Structure 1
Amino acid sequence: MNTTITATAAEGAATPPSAPSYPPVQIDLGIGGMTCASCVTRVEKALRKQEGVGDATVNLATESARVTLSSGDAQESLARIKRAVRDAGYEPRTLDAMDADDKALVYGVPRDLWPVLAGVLLSLPLVLPMVGDLFGQHWMLPAWAQFLLATPVQFVLGARFYRAAWHALKAWTGNMELLVAIGTTAGWALSTWLWWRAAPGETVHLYYEASAVVITLVLLGKWLEARAKRQTTSAIRALHALRPERAHLLPDGVRRTESTDVAVDELLPGDLIRVLPGERFAADGTVVQGQTQADESMLTGEAMPVAKEVGDAVTGGSLNGEGAVDVQVRAVGAQSVLAHIIGLVQDAQAGKAPVQRMVDQVAAVFVPVVLLIALGTLLAWWWSGAPLEEALLHAVAVLVIACPCALGLATPAAIMAGTGVAAQHGILIKDAEALEIAHKVDTVAFDKTGTLTEGRPRLLVIEAAPGVDEEAVLQAAAALQAQSAHPLARAVLEAAASRDIAVAADAAQAVQAVSGRGNQGRVKGALLALGSLRWMGELGAALGPLAERADALQAEGATVSVLATQLPAEGTAAPGWAPLALLAFGDEPKPGAARAIAGLRAQGVRVFMVSGDNRGAALAMAARLGLRADQDEVVAEVLPADKADVVRQLRIGTMGGPSHTVAMVGDGVNDAPALAAADVGMAMSHSQGASADVAMHAAGITLMRGDPMLVAAALDISRRTVRKIRQNLFWAFVYNVAGIPLAALGFLSPVVAGAAMALSSVSVVSNALLLKRWTPPRR
């Protein structure tokens, strides 16, 4: 990291150098050994106490932490963070190392499965006598044999529980390991004491099997839970797998005179690479030779291959079709679209939903309360006349069944599964908060151009003023628009090209864009302005004989612009403006746009279209889309700067009715303020331009292809994910609320409680994994 030290001099004396300043840095760190929501709370507290740490968020499902450093050297801070994690009783690890451990095999068996198998082999002989009793067989092992089988399970396989419990006690907190350690140790100690005090030859009932089986079941449950949790991160792994290892680098005639295969990490912007049929594009770029089709389904969710020819953009990670193409690299590494997608998904999965904060608060006091309940259970049974061993077993059952594993997994597992499957279908959810808010959306405001329409308007009509040459008008208009990226400007240039009208690069001078209105500049010495009817009104340009034609074109749904020239001043009067011609533009609605609007309305969602077009053009397009102007669903003649105000009015209900939760859907840089003003912004990324990037950064949800149907799909996956969160939290709370009293009243043995506790965690993750079967609503 670069450190800048500045010094200033005053009156010949140098002042001491100022302290180094460091930009905010995010660190992602793997954390081994976490098992429940209490662990999450404890690690977060330890991290936030460290100097220079602005915030820390810990995710139990991914076993990772995201730490934001507000100040200080990142390398030194990382060392402090790792030490804090270790002092809290957990293992700081790199995410790559954790992934490698997940895949590690020992004699063909996953490494983390061996403790479970050892626990099963040692516990099975202790359980078989219980099975034999059902058939009248007495297979009870001698006390010494039970001791030899149970002790390794208790203190070798269960050592992880003691270590974590000790760290929790030192920090004056509680966690799942503390409950398991206390409960199983009590069962083992009780059995050892009964064996020790028994008379020679006396047969006593021991409880070694309860402690050994509980530890084995907890280990098994954790292993199954880990297997299931890895499935929730399958979307991230699939995205990483899209990036090829090698690229075919072509000679450029200067630095390289022959082609060679290089690692993708060595590519630079401007390099030329060849992509063969069936290979994945190694980087974002532009096709410079050849034509093919690209399968972009893993990035955008678009099932059909997309045709690519010279000049078209390609995205790294997409699959090349049947043609070999040469591509000029545009972006690599962290600047690539694939890296941006992976980053958004990781951010969403690392974030914490608002509901999870409430869960963390509950978990912070849960373990101490359970310990008090277990102590109360022990004393109540003993006071009522039950033998000490029976009272102790009931208390052990309370400790075991109350482990808050499911509580800590309920929210992050659902968020990971929901955001992962959404990404596979072209819906990128920026953070967990956007996901949680989106399920409450009852109003959707669409920008018109490029969102509901194709965004590629055509020049339909040129209506020149009397005595004005039509081709001269088109040439002048093209000169004014030559440097503009506006869709209407492209339409003018395409119309000029179709008529073989040449436009010199310097045909217009001093061209200025007037925001939301148009362009003005000098062409052949004359000051010209090309823009909206409203702007012409502001300039005082009377349309005269063109006025009636302008009204007729608007009534037909066209967007009408005016090319005007400035008249010289006369006497004391200021210069005026005279119209030269009307230019009428038309756009087409996107396929499926009308059905998307109807689908949202069928879900009870209000739909609005916000447009900068004149009201006539906006109403004509609204009629084609099925929007109802009589119910104020069309907001026209809105300047880009005013779109955010329209969204705010929809939110607070000043446009008729109570307040609403509003989603704004846009695609360009001029939509960014409105996207930020909405409860949930949805950026439609049908291009790779800078304007799309600005919109994506302002939005909470990015739609990776320009399909309005994805709006309903985004709201649908949000509702389903929040539903899963609520289901998981409900069952996690109900499980403890019902299980603890049953255990305290003696209806659950420690073995049954251990099995139920392990099953609860697995069931919560499995319920979340059902989201992976989700597919967007069909057209």
Structure 2
Amino acid sequence: MPVRPDTVAPEQTTRVRLTVEGMSCAACAARVERRLNKLDGVTAAVNYATATATVDADPTITADRLCVEVTAAGYAAEPAAADRPALAGTGAEDAEVGDLRRRLFVALLAFFPLADLSVMFAFIPSARFDGWQVLLTALALPVVLWAAAPFHRRALVNARHRAASMDTLVSVGVLAATLWSLHTMYLAPARTETPAGVWAAIWSSDSIYLEVAAGITTFVLAGRYFEARAKRAAGSALRALAALAAHEVTVLTRDGREITVPTGELAAGQRFVVRPGETLAADGTVVGGATSLDVSAMTGESVPVEVTSGAAVVGGTVSLTGRIIVEATAVGPDSALSGMIRLVDEAQQGKARIQRIADRVSAVFVPVVFLTAATTFAGWLLAGGAADRAGAAAIAVLVVACPCALGLAIPTALMVASGRGARAGIFIKGHQALEATRDVDVVVFDKTGTLTHGLMRVVAVTGHGIDDGEALRLAGALEAASEHAVAEAIAQAARRAGPLPEAETFEALAGLGARGRVLGREVLVGRPRLMTDQGRLAPPELAAELDRHVHAGHTAVYVAVDESVVAVIAVADTVKDSAPAALARLHRLGLRTVMLTGDNAIAARSVAAEIGVSEVHADLLPRDKVARIAELRAAGHRVAMVGDGINDGAALATADLGLAIGSGTDVAIAAADMVLVRADLDTVPDAIELAHATLRTIRLNLVWAFGYNVVAIPVAAMGWLNPLIAGAAMAFSSFFVVTNSLRLRRLRLSSPA
């Protein structure tokens, strides 16, 4: 496998990424990770969410050797693409979710009638009719064999590798309850009389526990289904970033011909053509033409950048107004866009190391349960107990230990919290977000589109010898023919004041402004340099006004009518109304706030002063934002990042807690742990409060689930729990977890529901 130069560490290790198949829980990821790390010269991190393993290894260790080790651990692996590390397996993830949905549907369909009939026939022998065993079997087998098949397959793989997981416990519990029930129905002597009294009926009931087997399958499948949906979303940040790349590029040959080829065939040093509306296929230098570039993918800023010959440009940005010729300097995995993909992927690798409590203890819990069940069965036989009594006690141990409540502890709390959050404009994507909020003490904000609206708006019009409204009307009529962001802001402001006349002529002056005729008058709108080039001299009053706006971080242009400069129009990205109050709430919670932006320092300090942020870092590229967040974390801080742009994706993934504005880009939304659907920034402190409450609920759920098993297993081993009662106790434990989670629906938040 070829190794990229930037993957070589100072110790001369190479970085290899593998796509791992067959992992069903975070414990599986930990098992693969341990297996790889046993190799000399290997440091591996396995991301269960994206099904990838990132391995730093001695150059003599090949990717094929690593794949062999993963296979030996009971899973399948293959090398991942170097520049698209987490994009493989998307179809497999969708198929997994669909498969679990179908199995859950079948389990639910059969569970309810099976539960009613199984309990009735076990308690009341007189209710039985000819063929009742066949009816129960027909209802049970699709659930315990087909719907529960993923647990059985994983249990077999674990057994071959002398390992155990929660899947092993589920599989054995389901099969034991089923086989014992089939033995009772078809081979054991049939009872015909129903004992008097409820307790007598329960204790003397036949050992028919098919509803227990179906219930275990249904509960655990439900938890796995919701977990799989969250897992599928984990890789969407990288897929959204990859979607930004151009798929084809128009290459300019030495004889001047234009040939369209796939982007992968573009080489450094070749020249390619970019027309208005097209995406740059690679990083490079402009060698011909001029245009306005939408660079929001890399900087997050809404103001286009004017580029001409000699300017450096990056792939993933979009040409807006002109045709340019670019000489490629960095292509494929060496481009800035591919670098952003790697940043997001590496950040997600680190975050995925948080392991679920249930998976961490399974290596100890499952063997202990099996040992207890075996000891219970043998102990009852040695004590002279009947085989059916010994089997009932052993099955009761397996049933009561099944992790239904454990599997529901996190998914149910997340579902209820998601519903409550949705009413307040907050979407929680997974348990990582909840764990991350525990000790957050720094909240980092992007500026454009997060603290501000992300759109240019006219903030001031100052006329000299002309009415302000008339100056805006003439400028707006001219700029209505332009696609430039500043021009659109001026035109929209003018339209709000009334209908606009149509420009009789229009000429765009690349990088400077525009000119044309409106109502028979020559109108010129643009930068000071344009006025100087056209021989117009601005009055001192307007020159001072323009300087004032520039120092305030605004974009200001002159308006000239006929021979005179008559007005200054200033446009800026305005602060959201909710920003000052939201920042004040965060400060009252004792949180430190920081602004990171790709905008210039003047504009950044102006916004910070308006909303109350004391720490500002400006002129940052995406990798700079990641570096700042990494510095804060290295200093011992727990960092929450709030952003909305493509350029924020890596920073959102790097932070302990990522919060994306819902009106932002797909990349930001995919990379974040929480999505703030409403643009109101009050949702930021609300999200933190909701996450804290949800985390408390999950902790109580887990304490109950583990405590229930610790108490119930010995009771079942002593024979004091009939498997039917054990199944009821298991159901009650699940009921407690669900009702405790439902309390989150009544959580009070400041944001209106």
* TM band (smaller chain): 0.5 to 0.7
Which residue in 2 is equivalent to 1:39? Answer: 28
What is the one-letter code of the residue matched to 2:400? V
From 68, 72, 96, the counterpart of 2:55:
68
> What are the within-5 Å matches in structure 2 for residues 195-274 of structure 1?
195=185, 197-199=187-189, 205=206, 207=208, 209-210=210-211, 213-214=214-215, 216-217=217-218, 220-221=221-222, 224-225=225-226, 228-230=229-231, 232-233=233-234, 235-236=236-237, 239-240=240-241, 242-243=243-244, 246-250=247-251, 252=252, 254=254, 257-260=257-260, 262-269=261-268, 271-274=271-274
How big is each residue's C-alpha offset from its partner over 1:177-228, in whole Å with a ceiling of 9 and x where there is no partner? 2212321232233234435653489799453623652475267436623652
Query: Equivalent of 1:737, from 679, 703, 707?
Result: 707
Change (3 A) 1:28 1:712: farther
Partner of 1:399: 401
- Partners of 1:441 and 1:191 in 2: CA distance: 55
1:29 lines up with 2:19 in the alignment: yes
Uncovered stretches (5+) of structure 2, i.e. residues with no partner: 5-9, 81-85, 194-204, 427-431, 455-526, 534-549, 553-570, 596-601, 665-678, 746-750
Paired amino acid for 1:600: L
CA contact (8 A) 1:221 1:762 kept: no
Q: Counterpart in 2 of 1:101?
A: 92
Matched AA of 1:70: A
Partner secondary structure for residue 198 of structure 1: coil
- In structure 2, C-alpha distance between the alignment counterparts of 1:222 and 1:237, rounded to whole Å: 26
Q: Could you tell me how far 1:436 is from its partner in structure 2? A: 3.5
Which of 38, 42, 49 is residue 49 of structure 1 equivalent to?
38
| Structure 1 residue 731: Cα displacement | 3.0
Whole-Å separation in 1 of the counterparts to 2:137 and 2:594: 75
Counterpart Cα distance in 2 of 1:674 and 1:404: 38
8 Å contact 2:27–2:165 — kept in the other structure?
yes
* Structure 1 pair 667–341 and aligned structure 2 pair: CA distance change class (3 A): same
For 2:30, the aligned partner's letter is T
- TM-score, length-normalised on structure 1? 0.53
Mapping of 1:574-593 within 5 angstroms? 591-592=574-575
CA distances 1:590-612 after superposition (whole Å, capped 9, x unpaired): 854998576434323576999xx
- Secondary structure (helix, strand or coil) at the match of 1:174 reads coil
Find the counterpart in structure 1 of residue 74 from structure 2. Answer: 89
In structure 2, relative to structure 1, the CA distance for the partners of 1:755 and 1:380 (3 Å cut) is: same
Shift of 1:725: 5.3
Match of 2:174? 184
CA deviation string 1:653-674 (max 9, x = no partner): xxxxxxxxxx874545999997
Aligned-residue offset at 1:49: 1.5
1:605-632 Cα offsets, whole Å, 9 max, x none, are 576999xxxxxx9xx98996587xxxxx
Q: CA deviation at 1:2?
A: 6.9
Give the distance between the partners of 1:54 and 1:438, measured in 2 at CA. Answer: 29
Contact 2:177–2:209 (Cα < 8 Å) also in 1:
yes
- 2:440 aligned residue: 440
Instruction: Check whether the contact 2:47–2:349 (CA below 8 A) recurs between aligned residues.
Output: yes
Aligned mates of 2:620, 2:160 — CA distance in 1: 55
Q: Give unpaired runs (5+ residues) of structure 1.
A: 5-19, 426-431, 455-493, 501-556, 560-587, 611-616, 628-632, 635-662, 771-776
Question: What SS does structure 2 have at the residue aligned with 1:254?
Answer: coil
Q: Which residue is 1:564 aligned to?
A: none
Which residue is equivalent to 1:642? none
- 2:540 corresponds in structure 1 to none
Letter in 2 for 1:243: L
- Is this contact kept in 1: 2:26–2:356, CA < 8 A? no
- Residue 129 (1) aligns with residue 123 (2): no
In 2 relative to 1, CA 215–294 (structure 1 residues): closer, same or farther, beyond 3 Å?
Answer: same
**Paired residue total:** 574
- Kindly tell me: are residues 686 and 753 of structure 1, through their superposed partners in 2, closer, same or farther at Cα, counting changes over 3 Å? closer
Say whether the 8 Å CA contact 2:174–2:217 is kept in structure 1: no
Indicate the SS of the match to 1:236.
Answer: helix
Distance 2:235 2:267 in 1: 29
8 Å CA contact 1:57, 1:350 repeated in 2: yes
Q: Report the equivalent of 2:347.
A: 348
Of 585, 595, 607, 1:602 maps to 585
Match of 1:515?
A: none
Distance 1:319 1:621 in 2: 28
- Aligned-residue offset at 1:398: 1.5
Offset at residue 441 of structure 1 (A): 1.9
Report 1:492-641 matches (<5 A): 591-592=574-575, 599-603=582-586, 604=588, 605=590, 625=610
Please state if 1:80 is matched with 2:58. no
What letter is aligned with 2:583?
A: L
TM-score by structure 2 length? 0.54
1:239 positional shift: 0.7
* Residues 1:595 and 1:58: Cα distance change in structure 2 (over 3 Å): closer
Aligned residue number for residue 326 of structure 2? 328
Is contact 2:16–2:54 with CA below 8 Å preserved after alignment? Answer: yes
Q: Identify if the C-alpha distance between structure 1 residues 685 and 737 changes in structure 2 by more than 3 Å, giving closer, same or farther.
A: closer
Alpha carbons 2:358, 2:406 under 8 Å: kept: no
Aligned CA distance change for structure 1 residues 495 and 369 (closer, same or farther; 3 Å): farther
AA paired with 1:397?
Answer: V
Taking every aligned residue pair, what percent have the same amino acid on both sides? 22
Shift of 1:175: 0.7
Q: Is the 8 A contact 1:402 1:736 kept in 2?
A: no
Deviation at 1:125, TM superposition (A): 7.7
CA distance in 1, matches of 2:591, 2:209: 63
Residues 281 and 318, structure 1, Cα contact 8 Å, conserved in 2: yes
SS in 1 for 2:402: helix
Change (3 A) 1:672 1:206: closer
* Structure 1 residue 364 displacement after superposition: 3.7
Q: In the alignment, what sits opposite 2:558? A: none
Match of 1:351, SS?
helix
Instruction: Flag the 1:55–1:165 CA change in 2: closer, same or farther, 3 A.
Output: same
Q: Distance in 1 between matches of 2:724 and 2:190?
A: 32
The whole-number CA distance in structure 2 between the counterparts of 1:283 and 1:766 is 51
Any residues of structure 2 matched to 1:742-757 within 5 Å, and which?
744=716
Q: Secondary structure at 2:258's aligned position in 1?
A: coil
Change (3 A) 1:189 1:436: closer
CA 1:738/1:37 → structure 2, altered by over 3 Å: closer, same or farther? farther
**Which residue is equivalent to 2:667?**
none
* Alpha-carbon distance in 2 for matches of 1:289, 1:755: 71
Contact 2:226 2:411 in 1 (8 A): no
The two structures, once aligned, show a CA RMSD in angstroms of 6.9
- CA separation in 2, counterparts of 1:763 and 1:351? 34
User: CA offsets, 1:376-428, max 9 Å, x none?
Assistant: 887999999994454344323213236854679899x99xx9xxx9xxx9xxx
- Aligned counterpart, 1:526: none
